[in-house]
Amino acid sequence: MQATICQTAVNPSLFSAEGFVGLIFLATIALIVVGALIATTSKRLVRCVAGLAVCFTGLAGAYYFLLSPFIAMMQMLIYVGAVSIIIAFAIMLATPENEDTAEIKGAGLAGPLGFSLGALFFSALTILGLKTHWQVFPRQGTGNLKQIGTDLLTRHAMVFELISIVLLMAILGAVVLARKGRD
């Protein structure tokens, strides 16, 4: 196995500041795993959305550990604040009252098939990530908020405009689709 890529290789003591930060990161990982587990295995759809919000909160913490608090804030705003809420609205608007269960398919073999597919992808990607010899390139940019803003409007300006058009189309399409059929 190749050597792991770590910024620092020391083992911090449990009672130092770095050790405490490591404990917080372990709690973040626990949030992500528990949230994803609830989101995919819970029987009620409302609990699935709550698990999704917990998972996204943990991901925001992980982005904070990846040295970009701006992306962590955007994660909280967009995913936890907007996407989870819009899915919760969908559950409230479009679920039959007597059966708001989302139970795993009973009769077919979709449950075991899905589990084996997920386990296959997880193990394959994990082995790939651990075995590959990653090459570290020397740093050129700082990656701070100012550089992100400059790059958005210079190097990635085309993609930025395309994303704007996609969002506009999504808004129009959502309005047209959801408005049709209303009496």
Binds other proteins by CB under 8 A, chosen from 27, 30, 73, 159: 159
Binds other proteins by CB under 8 A, chosen from 17, 93, 98, 158: 93
Report if residue 86 touches other proteins, rule: CB under 8 A. yes
- Within residues 58-77, the interface with other proteins by CB under 8 A covers 59, 62-63, 65-68, 70-71, 74-75
- The answer to whether the CB of 60 falls within 8 A of the CB of 75 is yes
Report if residue 54 touches other proteins, rule: CB under 8 A. no
Binds other proteins by CB under 8 A, chosen from 96, 98, 133, 158: 96
Measured between alpha carbons, how far is 75 from 154 in angstroms, rounded to an integer? Answer: 24
- The answer to whether the CB of 91 falls within 8 A of the CB of 45 is yes
Measured between alpha carbons, how far is 9 from 2 in angstroms, rounded to an integer? Answer: 15
Per-residue burial over 149-168, b = 16 or more CB atoms within 10 Å of its CB, e = otherwise: eeeeeeeeeeeeeeeeeeee
Q: How near is the Cβ of 29 to other proteins at its closest, in Å?
A: 7
Report if residue 157 touches other proteins, rule: CB under 8 A. no
Of the chain, the end-to-end C-alpha distance in Å amounts to 64
Measured between alpha carbons, how far is 100 from 45 in angstroms, rounded to an integer? Answer: 7
Size of site (CB under 8 A) for other proteins: 102
Binds other proteins by CB under 8 A, chosen from 98, 133, 158, 177: 177
Binds other proteins by CB under 8 A, chosen from 48, 54, 57, 80: 48
Binds other proteins by CB under 8 A, chosen from 8, 17, 133, 158: 8
Q: How near is the Cβ of 95 to other proteins at its closest, in Å?
A: 7
How many Cα atoms are found within 13 Å in the side-chain-facing hemisphere of 28?
18
Report if residue 181 touches other proteins, rule: CB under 8 A. yes
Q: How near is the Cβ of 33 to other proteins at its closest, in Å?
A: 7
The token duo for 59 is: 């991901």
The token duo for 46 is: 């409302």
Report if residue 27 touches other proteins, rule: CB under 8 A. no
